[in-house]
Chains A and B, each alone.
Chain A
Amino acid sequence: MISAPAPRLRLCTLLGALAVATLVVSGFTPAPNLVGEWLAAPPSVARADAIVVLGAGGAVWGDGMLGNLSMRRALRGIVLQREGLAPLLVFSGSDAEVDQRSRLARELGVMPVRILAGGGSNTTRDEATRLRALLSPRGVRKVLLVTDSHHMIRARRLFERAGFDVFAAPADDVSTTARTPEERLQLARAICGEVLARLYYRIAGYL
């Protein structure tokens, strides 16, 4: 006996067409770059009491080296400190990440007395809360925040809510540098991730 063909799922067909169209538009047009620029925080680099380098998901690889994202942020912070934009360089994130970044900063010529380790954080909200407790007694009010351009808006609001005056020093300009289909798809994925994170923070009442 021949069974009847499976019924068509029109909504799934529409979803699939939409997904393929999104893939093509994201990979082969500048759409992700434009959305990325719109979602990113512009730099507002200025003198501050401390440079705060946010964690990058505790990104320390199996060989003990910092992951690319964490390394990029750390180097941006070190360069800003060497340029004299703040007397204090604060590394935030997981303990292992903070240890590696502090060691890197010392090896690149930052005086140990200028480095402050603010480890033990798991989320951006956690970082803002812990750093307020760590920095307020030292009289730090103005901070130059170093993180990714897309993460900056969420991080900035959390640090402002924690009582800091915040200047932004994005560690990347990925919205304008993504040029190949693969880079654009990575950018689109990063944008989706940050949009979901902002949504979660809003629903949870953190922003």
Chain B
Amino acid sequence: MKQGFVLVLVGLTSAAACVAGTRGLGLSWRSLGAALARMFEAIGLGVVFFAINLLVAAAAILTARTLGPRFVSLYLADDVTVIALSVLQGLVFQAWRESPRADQPSG
């Protein structure tokens, strides 16, 4: 019941956004495919950031556990905010990549 509701809700708002995009903003269906590809790319970058965050956290925790006087739990890195922040890292990095490059010498 709940999962059906969520799917219908997101489906309806997505359909409304498509109508608003094509009729209101004059966007093309073709560019929607490219936008989806860019979204997957940004999420993929988020996955890469997540893996790096986990590896760095594990290395730091195991080092602290070995060298420090107190026990440090690996569960310190088991927090849902790591996932959310990793996705944000990916989105920002993607936007940065797509921004105009650094000043280039003019002709």
A and B associate in one complex:
yes
B contact residues around A15 at 8 Å (CB): 43-44, 47-48
B19 within 8 A of A: no
B64 within 8 A of A: no
Closest 5 A/B residue pairs (Cβ)? A12-B44, A16-B44, A16-B40, A16-B43, A15-B44
- Number of chain B residues close to chain A: CB under 8 A: 28
| A-to-B contact residues, CB < 8 Å | 1-6, 8-9, 11-20, 27-28, 57-58, 122-123, 179-181, 189, 193, 197, 200
Given A1-B106, A3-B100, A13-B37: A57 touches B75 (CB 8 Å cut-off): yes
A197 and B71 CA atoms in complex are apart in Å by 17
Query: By the criterion CB–CB under 8 Å, are A19 and B45 in contact?
Result: no
A27 and B40 CA atoms in complex are apart in Å by 18
Apart from A20-B43, A200-B74, what 9 extra A-B contacts exist at CB < 8 Å? A3-B104, A5-B98, A12-B41, A13-B40, A15-B44, A19-B44, A27-B3, A28-B7, A180-B2
Which of B2, B44, B75, B80 is the most central at the interface, judged by chain A CB atoms within 10 Å of its CB? B44
Query: By the criterion CB–CB under 8 Å, are B41 and A13 in contact?
Result: yes
B73 within 8 A of A: yes
- Select A11's contact among B2, B44, B80, B107, beta carbons within 8 Å: B44
- Select B73's contact among A1, A17, A57, beta carbons within 8 Å: A57
Q: CB within 8 Å of A: which of B65-107?
A: 71, 73-75, 78, 80, 97-98, 100-101, 104, 106-107
A2 and B98 CA atoms in complex are apart in Å by 12
Query: By the criterion CB–CB under 8 Å, are B44 and A13 in contact?
Result: yes
Give min CB distance, B94 to chain A, whole Å. 8
Query: By the criterion CB–CB under 8 Å, are B3 and A28 in contact?
Result: yes
> Can you list 12 A-B contacts (CB < 8 A)?
A1-B104, A2-B100, A4-B101, A5-B98, A6-B97, A8-B37, A11-B44, A15-B47, A16-B40, A16-B45, A180-B2, A181-B2
Query: By the criterion CB–CB under 8 Å, are A20 and B104 in contact?
Result: no
A contact residues around B40 at 8 Å (CB): 12-14, 16-17, 20
B contact residues around A27 at 8 Å (CB): 3
Q: CB within 8 Å of A: which of B1-40?
A: 2-3, 6-7, 37, 39-40
A181 and B39 CA atoms in complex are apart in Å by 22
A179 and B1 CA atoms in complex are apart in Å by 10
Give min CB distance, A71 to chain B, whole Å. 18
A4 and B100 CA atoms in complex are apart in Å by 8
A2 and B100 CA atoms in complex are apart in Å by 8
A107 and B3 CA atoms in complex are apart in Å by 41
A contact residues around B74 at 8 Å (CB): 197, 200
